[in-house]
Amino acid sequence: MFSETLALTQNQGVNDHPALSQKKIPRRERLILALDVPGVTEAKGLVDRLGDAVRFYKIGLQLFMAGGYYELIEWLKGKNKQVFVDLKFFDVPETVKLAVAQLKGRGVTFATVHGNDAILKAAVDADSGVQVLAVTVLTSLDRGDLADLGFECDVESLVLSRARRALQIGCAGVISSGLEAPRLRQHLGQNLLIVSPGIRPVENKLIETDGRPIRRAADPRAKAEEIQGTIARIFGE
């Protein structure tokens, strides 16, 4: 996952691609590593192994269900890491508001919220100090899935519509695939963060069912540093 970037190439810079952010985000915080591991012990081991190569971590439902979720957040903050809570809060608005409020004072940077305008507004109104990222359309859904759900439009139009409303409501940004990011940037400018999940190097073959280039690497820290180097070349920071 990359914060505020697209699929990276060796030859493009931030000024060569209008979809890339001009925001002054610390370069090493543009890479967000998903801690999709079975438990807290494995998560801590990976973080220790990566050291300074990764500064931003996403922790989702798998670790939430494993137990020790808040303790892991505190441990990560103790190591000066940024934390992204990816729980895709979705419920009646008041319940979402109360849930997001539980993150106040925990040092969390981002939290994902899924749902309609009322749900997004409730999350923003929680005043938790956490930046709310709206999930526009789950990246696993295709046109057929959207038709089954009653959406009579293409994916790109739906993403843009939901992103525009999320920005008006007060969300800091959206979760969007790299395919939709150029259109979002074209229509909404630099006013929102775009966090793109599942961005992987070109050499990462589709036949790899896991597809996590850092975790699967023989030397995860070296792989992370390689990706950080590419980010640095693109953003010039």
Q: Which residues are catalytic?
A: 88
Q: Which two tokens stand for residue 24?
A: 């002054």
Q: Which two tokens stand for residue 143?
A: 């046109």
Angle between helices 69-78 and 40-50 (to 10 degrees): 20
List beta partners, residue 195: 3, 175
Identify which of 202, 216, 141 has the alpha carbon closest to the alpha carbon of residue 175. 141
CA distance 73 to 69: 6
Q: Which two tokens stand for residue 41?
A: 């012990």
In the chain, count H helices and then E strands: 9, 8
CA distance 34 to 91: 24
User: Over 52-91, what HEC string results?
Assistant: HHCCEEEECHHHHHHCCHHHHHHHHHHCCCEEEEEEEECC
